[in-house]
A and B are shown apart, each in its own frame.
Chain A
């Protein structure tokens, strides 16, 4: 049991690092996109979320939250795939610059975080069946300017879910560390009982 917990801690710590790196990469990507499209930092995009997953409910337990996070990240990756393909079709000059490289980094990092999250779900429930497909096809605007704003929203969405991942994983790490202390106390008390 202790070994399993220890392994879980290792996975969580690793996932936190990946999520933090994703958030960092995403902030760079947003900056590069704003620079590329001459968007000001206060560019207004629709407030509504592109990813339809509710994670903030207090009634969700850790495992549920992981599942929600996993689902959200899978949607984020689908959004990024769509955003990249539409950009390539409509807005690309055929050159591969810093922006395009960073875009790929973020996409790969999202995939990695998905894998990490799946690993954590499996570590909590080995019978969990994990899939990484998105149910419906992503729809995006056809007008170019709207498409640009939508791409920006996608990146903001990834940024948001990177932050959510960090907070979720940190909370999970806290939960994992508590039973360890309890377990130690429990062992000590049992020894005491034996002495008696």
Chain B
């Protein structure tokens, strides 16, 4: 189990290396999908299934879908994948940097030196993160109202940015 967690964490960092090496946005969005999937695996392994499902639904299913079709604005005839030369140089430099940082900061941690501990009381399906998020509706009610207000303001910000002033909002792009 700890080996699977190690593998998931490694793929997490590897996916973000693939995003940070700045290929064409199609491939960077694909790397971000992989990173989000691995992040969900990390959260499930530590005993937080609700936060993992929230990440899947809202982040992958909401935000990354919007990024995926916005990548059509960055369309080019020959997109740079992970095989082209500047992208490969960036990836190699980032991987070497991560390995060096692990050598410096890793300390005494190796593959079998840590285990995931998960607790549940007599096969209950109630998890800690479910109860904690429910607090957002009771004690944290004001934060919920403020967040809703912020989301409404962001809607107005986006509508104003894409209004197009005198040229109109319905254009080819």
Asked if A pairs with B, the answer is no
Name A residues whose Cβ lies closer than 8 Å to a Cβ of B.
none
Interface residues of B (CB under 8 A from A): none
